[in-house]
Amino acid sequence: MQAGQMAYDRAITVFSPDGRLFQVEYARVAVTRGTTTIGITFKDGVVLIADKRLNSRLIDPDSVEKICEIDEHIGVTCSGLVADARIIIDYARVQSQINKVTYDEPILVSALAKKVCDYKQQYTQYGGVRPFGIALLIAGVDNDGPKLYETDPSGALFGYMATSIGAGKEAVMEMLEEEWKEGMKKEDAIALGLKALQKANEEPLNSISVEMGVIQKGKKFQKYSTKDVEKLIKKVLGAQVKGD
């Protein structure tokens, strides 16, 4: 790093001469070092798939949660600093319930995504704080149909038909660009997600380290059990996987 950049590197509230906030950029780097997560919309819903990256056989798989329910119609997955994600997820759950109590209706997926991004953006404006080193994929189904949003550490918001965050993003996005189709079935979206995740991993996928959730129109958010994930991996990839 050049000596002239040091002042801008250490202060979240100061732009560098070329218009950069270095601490926000470093937060984005934390996301790229996180586990690979994928979101794919299909005809009437969204599927979320996450790699838990268990580095030791001594880790209890149930203690690592990468996909969480926000409301009956919304789920999220994350990549980056998991501790930061817990704060954002708790905030999203509170905002969802506030909307339900205030307006007597479920919050729109887009409205929740904007609230989360507004909250994250506040942590890029004040001294004494740091940006959240986490990116979220917020997926849900409301009156506007299936929705999938990516939230950036800067507070930026992007809507996608299919996307990925984390270490394997580049490999996953290449496959999604080629194979995602509008109006695809749930089974096809799951198959595409598993194939893309396998492409981004050096080791064969197994049901212990892969987490999956689906939000579908007219149904509540569902997280798949380890046995269900095992069956899907075997069906899609023909792999020998480790179950319970």
- Residue in 35, 36, 77, 124 annotated catalytic: 35
* pTM above threshold 0.85: yes
Cβ-contact 123, 151 below 8 angstroms = no
First vs last Cα of the chain: how many Å apart? Answer: 48
Which sequence spans correspond to the domains of the chain?
A: 21-237
Half-sphere exposure of 178 (CA within 13 A, CB side): 10
- Identify residue 154 by its one-letter amino acid code: S
What is the DSSP annotation of 151-218?
Answer: E-TTS-EEE-SEEEESTTHHHHHHHHHHH--TT--HHHHHHHHHHHHHHT-SSPP-TTTEEEEEEETT
Least confident of 3-17, 79-93, 195-209, 225-239: 3-17
Residue 241 confidence class, pLDDT cut points 50, 70, 90: very low
State the Cα–Cα distance between residues 1 and 92, nearest whole angstrom.
37
Per-residue pLDDT reduced to its tens digit, 173-200:
999 999 999 999 999 999 999 999 999 9
* Whether 35 is catalytic: yes
State the Cα–Cα distance between residues 189 and 38, nearest whole angstrom.
11
Half-sphere exposure of 161 (CA within 13 A, CB side): 12
Q: Residues near 100 by Cβ (< 8 Å), separated by ≥ 6?
A: 71, 106, 107
State the Cα–Cα distance between residues 94 and 184, nearest whole angstrom.
33
Per-residue pLDDT reduced to its tens digit, 125-159:
988 889 999 999 999 999 999 999 999 999 999 99
Question: 67 — phi, psi (to 5°)?
Answer: -120, 130
CATH 3.60.20.10 fits 21-237, yes or no: yes
